[in-house]
A and B are shown apart, each in its own frame.
Chain A
Amino acid sequence: MSIRKIVTTLATVIVVLSMATAAFSADVTLLNVSYDPTRELYSDFNSDFARYWQKKTGQKVTIKQSHGGSGKQARAVIDGLEADVVTLALAYDIDAIAEKGLVKPGWQKELPHNSSPYTSTIVFLVRKGNLKKIKNWDDLVKPGVAVITPNPKTSGGARWNYLAAWAFALHQPGGNDAKAKEFVAKLFKNVPVLDSGARGSTNTFVQRGLGDVLLAWENEAFLAINELGPDKFDVVTPSESILAEPPVTVIDKVADRRGTRTVAEAYLNYLYSDEGQKIAAKHYYRPINPRITTRLAKVKLYRIDDKAFGGWQKAQKTHFADGGTFDQIYAPGK
């Protein structure tokens, strides 16, 4: 058998298979590439949107989901993962996709509210009974309290945790950058293990039973309680925290090439409808429409665009780049 024959066989197999994958898409399909904690939200939302879209246009739409760390997912889209829409954790990650020309610049102005149809924040998950009496951020720095949070170097969620603690200390009477840094340093002395991602930390806390308090996305904390039983954990909402705005956008290049722009835009707009907002609220995201009721406690929320942080690009550089404040305060094993 010649090498040419092997190559031909291989090529045939590849072509046949890629045709087979293409043949699946006779009806309209959308691919929503999202970050980790939105799995449950979107599997709920997708079936609702499919019903709505069929009633409105008669067209049958199937929405496929892909989940992973926000930065990793953005990278996959840049490398050719054919997402019609992305719904990621940080605007920073969509900016990276826009830089490669897959999304038009100015994407964040395309949809209302900075293209963030729902928001979230950072809360505490504690063990049932809350034996260490953790109520607010300043309880986390007390001696003997073990805090679980992922590594801000690798996890988007962990950066929000870090900045929320920073913002709290900064806004205490007499607070300033030096005091905030000292506060966060004390907090991280109480962290026995840094996982690389948010779900990893949650598993450390709930499965391995490490730590007294887990810093978590609000929706993740409630989800953990729903999945693992309300008899084991409680959610504690601090008096102040940070406002996280996970943005969404159509990937222009992909949607135009696949001819899915109309349905992709309708899909994202539906997130802003009353039904979409209700589904977001049901999954413990904070709806942006004030008319939609939410079970979540009122919290004073600081923003990443506030003067204290000056936006993601600046916050990233000040706090999480090599030699930033996190590197200065965190020394493992001390």
Chain B
Amino acid sequence: MPASLPIPKKEKERAQSEPDAVRWLLITVALVFLALFLLLPLAAVFSQAFEKGLSVYLNALKEPDTLSSIKLTLVTAAVAVPLNLFFGVTAAWAIAKFTFPGKNLLITLIDLPFSVSPVISGLIYVLIFGLQGWTGPWLQDHDIKIVFAVPGIILATIFVTFPFVARELIPLMEAQGKEEEEAAMVLGATGLQTFFRVTLPNIRWGIIYGVILCNARAMGEFGAVSVVSGHIRGMTNTVPLHVEILYNEYNYTAAFAVASLLAFLALITLGVKTLAEWKVQLQLENK
């Protein structure tokens, strides 16, 4: 503890705290809010999913259309997340460690998918690749399908999950500064060596944090994917789209069973996110 005037315990408490009533009121409001808007829906999803027992739950997940939607969601995330990881790290590295003209413009552009409604994110691909769009007739002549097929779904997903990795890394890398990299350079390391031996280990947990958020959004995206999907059963329905279809078919148990997969994903995401946040904090404090 740094030397300072000793403050009596009572004085200190009074200086920091509101009257008891206000404090308890605020805590209660926050907790009730949390329970009402987060825990209650989560509990509802699981209770509906398991309402008719475990075997009904498992059968709902084994249904061919459901399996195909899970497969499509996994494929989409498997393509979109690595691409955005690659882009995110490159962009964050460029922005945090170097100065170049147009840097602010790049930062703004990275944020663009956050500020655009997902429906618009889907529609832009229909406008570009759709039959009435710019490249539609050419694509059709060459028998390449983009919208209403898997590539369109992946493109829309990449677009909406674009900012996650870069947005996580930029502040972290800026906070870490570039002294270590400069030291490495002075000691004779090449650019790539510096990146893999110095930069990458420092941002490890930041990357995991970004990837996990990116992945959660990639698997959970509804709006943009809905516009480009075409809703062909067993072919172009992702898990969130399939949940809506099941619900609309009065298949409530199956709908909530599939939804519970997304809820599990959210819980895992939350767990890894907390871990990563804690590690990042630790890393910064050890500096």
Residues of A at under 8 Å CB distance from B? 1, 6, 9-10, 13-15, 17-18, 20-22, 24, 31, 36, 39-40, 64-68, 76, 78-82, 100, 199, 203, 223-224, 227-228, 257
* Minimal Cβ-Cβ distance residue in A for B236: A66
B259 at interface by CB-CB < 8 Å: no
Are the CB atoms of A17 and B232 closer together than 8 Å?
A: no
The residue that B132 contacts in the complex, of A31, A66, A100, with Cβ under 8 A, is: A100
Given A10-B83, A64-B234, A66-B231, 11 further pairs, Cβ under 8 A: A6-B86, A14-B154, A17-B150, A18-B150, A22-B143, A36-B248, A40-B249, A66-B230, A78-B132, A80-B140, A224-B250
| A121 CA to B136 CA, complexed, in Å | 39
Contacts of B248 in A (CB 8 A): 36, 199, 203
The residue that B148 contacts in the complex, of A9, A80, A223, A257, with Cβ under 8 A, is: A80
B87 at interface by CB-CB < 8 Å: yes
| A17 CA to B143 CA, complexed, in Å | 13
Instruction: Output the least CB separation between A63 and chain B (Å).
Output: 10
B106 at interface by CB-CB < 8 Å: no
* Minimal Cβ-Cβ distance residue in B for A19: B144
B233 at interface by CB-CB < 8 Å: yes
Contacts of B145 in A (CB 8 A): 18, 21-22, 82
Which residues of chain B in 229-273 are interfacial with respect to chain A, using CB atoms and an 8 Å cutoff? Answer: 230-235, 245, 247-250
Are the CB atoms of A228 and B231 closer together than 8 Å?
A: no
| A81 CA to B83 CA, complexed, in Å | 27
Contacts of B126 in A (CB 8 A): 79
Contacts of A6 in B (CB 8 A): 86-87
Contacts of B148 in A (CB 8 A): 76, 79-82
Contacts of B146 in A (CB 8 A): 14, 18
Per-residue contact bits, chain B 93-128, to A (CB 8 Å; 1 contact, 0 not): 000000000000000000000000000000000100
Which residues of chain B in 70-84 are interfacial with respect to chain A, using CB atoms and an 8 Å cutoff? Answer: 79, 83
The residue that A65 contacts in the complex, of B130, B132, B136, B233, with Cβ under 8 A, is: B233
Are the CB atoms of A228 and B250 closer together than 8 Å?
A: yes
The residue that B144 contacts in the complex, of A1, A15, A67, A224, with Cβ under 8 A, is: A15
* Minimal Cβ-Cβ distance residue in B for A79: B130
| A225 CA to B45 CA, complexed, in Å | 24
Q: A6-B87, A22-B143 are in contact. Are A39 and B232 (CB under 8 A)?
A: no
> What class of interface size applies to chain B in its complex with A?
35 or more
Contacts of A81 in B (CB 8 A): 147-148, 230
Residues of B at under 8 Å CB distance from A? 79, 83, 86-87, 90, 126, 129-133, 136, 140, 143-151, 154-155, 230-235, 245, 247-250
Instruction: Output the least CB separation between A105 and chain B (Å).
Output: 19
| A82 CA to B144 CA, complexed, in Å | 12
Give 7 A-B contacts (CB < 8 Å), ordered by A residue: A6-B87, A9-B83, A13-B79, A39-B249, A76-B230, A79-B147, A80-B147
A-B residue pairs, 3 tightest by C-beta? A80-B131, A79-B130, A227-B250
| A79 CA to B149 CA, complexed, in Å | 12
| A13 CA to B146 CA, complexed, in Å | 12
Contacts of B235 in A (CB 8 A): 21, 24, 64
Are the CB atoms of A64 and B233 closer together than 8 Å?
A: yes
The residue that B150 contacts in the complex, of A21, A64, A65, A100, with Cβ under 8 A, is: A21
* Minimal Cβ-Cβ distance residue in A for B87: A6
Instruction: Output the least CB separation between B106 and chain A (Å).
Output: 12
Are the CB atoms of A17 and B133 closer together than 8 Å?
A: no
Contacts of A68 in B (CB 8 A): 231
Instruction: Output the least CB separation between B102 and chain A (Å).
Output: 14
| A82 CA to B136 CA, complexed, in Å | 12
* Minimal Cβ-Cβ distance residue in A for B143: A22
Instruction: Output the least CB separation between B91 and chain A (Å).
Output: 11
| A64 CA to B154 CA, complexed, in Å | 21
| A305 CA to B249 CA, complexed, in Å | 32
Are the CB atoms of B130 and A80 closer together than 8 Å?
A: yes
| A9 CA to B250 CA, complexed, in Å | 42
Contacts of A67 in B (CB 8 A): 231, 233, 245
* Minimal Cβ-Cβ distance residue in A for B145: A18
The residue that A66 contacts in the complex, of B83, B129, B154, B232, with Cβ under 8 A, is: B232
Q: A80-B136, A228-B250 are in contact. Are A14 and B232 (CB under 8 A)?
A: no
| A215 CA to B261 CA, complexed, in Å | 35
Contacts of B83 in A (CB 8 A): 9-10, 13
Are the CB atoms of B231 and A18 closer together than 8 Å?
A: no
Contacts of B149 in A (CB 8 A): 18, 21
Contacts of A82 in B (CB 8 A): 145, 148
Contacts of B136 in A (CB 8 A): 79-80
Contacts of B245 in A (CB 8 A): 67
| A39 CA to B248 CA, complexed, in Å | 10
Most buried by A among B131, B149, B249: B131
